[in-house]
Structure 1
């Protein structure tokens, strides 16, 4: 862990230090990100994480093409779908039903309201913010939850409104009104959280990522072909992944594929549709336009990288 990461961990471990350091951290964020152009930030971070300087004018790789889309594809619909609250309206409109939405138990813009009396007593839930990414808290038993820790976690999340735009230049996250929300925890009968991520390029399904997590958010993965056939464990989209040996498909796997395909048709370039499954029903979890912000350091095998790049056809490709 570097010095910056250690300092951040210290500041965020203590409510007192966090509050005291907040003005300086906001000034630092402004100085580091806001005054620099999107191209400069993207080029610098891409080279540091991916390992080479991207061609942002004539992109060839999948990672480069995602950066081009950040700079040039400003479809306002992306802003709605990046918002984990407003995306629910989009899904209902496209599908004509609300059955694919997880139950919404709680909604607020005040972290102080994260208290047990405002939540169901005996229903597990997921606590998160609508404007962030990845920072979710699984609460299996509300009676045993550390509510002080949950409030502090939400306070940290609400303090920085444009974090994903600042650091990654994912423009669609900028300006989202921050809200704290709690949704029903979707689990299989075995007690795991299972997610299927469908990667589409120009309406074409390229690969499916199966993910499995326990209540401690220990994650395991496996990649599947569009027909749900298991790919070898050599398939990887991002590093440091532990794989499952097999995947037991839910009984509604065909419905999930049809739902993901239907939603993906609304977007002309790259989109990833993430669905949760309890083995019988499926629910929308997230819609993502810049997988791993495009800073994908490991993309294997070469055939997968080539197919993603080939099927993601941009105006720059057509001109060539």
Structure 2
């Protein structure tokens, strides 16, 4: 970020994320970031109808019985970001390359990279789930809600992934917010999604009692599905442009009164 980190009196969003990494360490956070365990956790709060179906969970790549899987599926590791393999035609799947990619992901310790504490005790596994696309027919847009003590304040929509990823931020009235963070805005007009109010309600339920968490959702054929829970957007290491928005987002985080050790 090219400036000194203020942990004694953090003001910005990115500074407060570093503080939360150090001092807000609840055991249930590990379950919430595990891509397999999170499904059960979320289903217990908002219902199984919002969970993308799972075909299986394995500890080793070579344990997967690909003959039993459908022609299309998504294969991912459970212990962090990345490690995602999208298969649109099983007959064309390069098993050797897939094994190499997943085993490479297994070697990554996401706690060691950015000190994101919830990932420290997540066991690396492989989960395979149903392949889905949204109304575009070619992609699956993310709707990512920034929630603070159970209240969604802002969200962004990720489009045109993975080759030309764009992020567009909106408030809860779906007013476009004038800043960038990590990626440029889209060149096309982003339409307000179906079930926007439902997504806000689900995000509110999933973030209740948590100082800050990003709730990621999908909107597929009129149905809302859970994506993942993210405690540290960009690891708290990517600037807002202009910088004033780093302070705006930071003002929404009320740091809990946790005794420092």
Change (3 A) 1:173 1:289: same
1:103 aligns to what?
A: 53
For the Cα contact (< 8 Å) 2:79–2:122, is it kept in 1?
yes
2:190 aligns to what?
A: 247
For the Cα contact (< 8 Å) 1:115–1:147, is it kept in 2?
no
* Structure 1 vs Structure 2 CA RMSD: 1.9
* CA distance, structure 2, for counterparts of residue 217 and residue 101 of structure 1: 27
1:219 aligns to what?
A: 165
- Point out which structure has higher relative CO (alpha carbons under 8 A, 6+ apart): 2
1:236 aligns to what?
A: 180
1:5 aligns to what?
A: none
Provide the aligned length of Structure 1 versus Structure 2: 256
For the Cα contact (< 8 Å) 1:201–1:308, is it kept in 2?
no
Residues 50-61 of structure 1 mapped to structure 2, 5 A cutoff: 50-61=1-12
* CA distance, structure 2, for counterparts of residue 150 and residue 244 of structure 1: 33
Change (3 A) 1:186 1:229: farther
Residue from 186, 195, 214 that aligns with 2:142: 195
| TM-score w.r.t. length of structure 1 | 0.75
Change (3 A) 1:260 1:195: same
Structure with the larger helix share:
1
2:70 aligns to what?
A: 120
Say which is worse superposed, 219-228 or 244-253, in terms of deviation.
Answer: 244-253
1:276-318, Cα deviation, whole Å (9 max, x unpaired): 121411111110111111112x2133442222111112247xx
SS at structure 1 position matched to 2:158: strand
For the Cα contact (< 8 Å) 1:194–1:278, is it kept in 2?
no
1:20 aligns to what?
A: none
| TM-score w.r.t. length of structure 2 | 0.90
* CA distance, structure 1, for counterparts of residue 115 and residue 21 of structure 2: 7
SS at structure 2 position matched to 1:228: coil
How much has 1:59 moved relative to structure 2? 1.2
Q: Structure 1 unaligned runs (5+)?
A: 1-49
Matched, 1:159 2:107: yes
Matched, 1:84 2:8: no
2:250 aligns to what?
A: 309
Change (3 A) 1:184 1:217: farther
How much has 1:107 moved relative to structure 2? 1.3
